[in-house]
């Protein structure tokens, strides 16, 4: 069965500490904290701030 690629359809703030992502397949479980997103971000700025977690 063909499944279209997952895409973000909306991003909602969760307080001042996180975001919740809504996907095109309808699911929206999970809260992603800014701290976690910075930790896993591969960009140069975030890497200097704390490195990339693998």
- Could you read off the pLDDT of 7-44 as tens digits, one per residue? 999 999 999 999 999 999 989 989 999 999 999 999 99
Residues 1-7, mean pLDDT to the nearest whole number: 89
Q: How far apart are CA 33 and CA 41, in angstroms?
A: 12
Domain-embedded: residue 53: no
Domain-embedded: residue 26: yes
Q: How confident is the model at residue 52 (pLDDT cuts 50, 70, 90)?
A: low
CB neighbour list of residue 27: distance below 8 Å, 6 or more residues apart: none
Count the domains in the chain.
1
pTM for this entry? 0.70
Which domain covers residue 24, as residue numbers?
1-41
Domain-embedded: residue 50: no
Higher-confidence residue of 52 and 16: namely 16
CATH of the domain at 1: 3.30.2020.30
């Amino acid at each position: 069965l063909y499944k279209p690629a997952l895409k973000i359809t909306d991003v909602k703030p969760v307080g001042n500490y996180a975001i919740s992502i809504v996907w095109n397949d309808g699911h929206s479980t999970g809260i992603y904290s800014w701290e976690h997103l910075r930790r896993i971000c591969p960009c140069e700025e975030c890497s200097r701030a704390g490195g990339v977690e693998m």
